[in-house]
Structure 1
């Protein structure tokens, strides 16, 4: 294991020497390296890593997988618990009593609405009956006024006709007396 550490350190130092000795790109501060050579050194470093690193990487992957499964199971359990609690609340006496009270309130409101409708109909019927009675009274009054006016005109006409007839009779009498 100590030998692997020495190899890794030597490879990393060699990689550092490649970067330090590489051609510099002006103004940018970047360097140009041989990609193939750098990748070969990185591959050698990976191959020199102890099995413990590989096992640790595998364990981290397993840890993430197990945590993912645990989160999924937690969410499923939380949903089941929430649904169970919801059902329990719905079955609870307080909820049942609240539903009963709500039904009573609705029934009372419906009865009140019906009573208001009936009251409105009775009021409308009463108003229309009063209107009908007033129309009948006014019609009767108008008929009586018309009768009185017609009777007055008829009496006046009768008086005028009687006077005219009387005048005609007197004129006929005078005429008869003067002709004789």
Structure 2
């Protein structure tokens, strides 16, 4: 486990301890916790989540930057092609060659842009799927821990009330025997 996972686990264990040591409501089994402190710990867990979201955002901004550069190159190539065409109207072969070269540059830029779009989309999708899986697992762990804590508290209350009931019945029997 890396340091990040340990911090998240420590925070989740702290939440569990907070629930275990909190004042319990009689009969209902509900627990009173300090909402502000509980929320602060949850915020810390959220802040410790992996930087995968930042990486995905970076990939998307890189994609936009590369597409923008490709578009600029395309515009430059198109302008150069137009200028060559104007300058060399009388020389048909140069115009043809310029058009071919411009079309090659455009096709190359479009192919590169498409490859970058597809690659960044696949990478972002993969990162977001991993993050979703991790968040889901952490949610299940937290819910399980909270359920166990609530069940433990309910069992303790049941045992205490059963013991109290037994003592009351013994006291009633003792009073009747007097």
TM-score, normalised with respect to structure 1? 0.46
Bigger radius of gyration: 1
**Higher RCO structure, 1 or 2 (CA under 8 Å, sep 6+):** 2
TM-score, normalised with respect to structure 2? 0.47
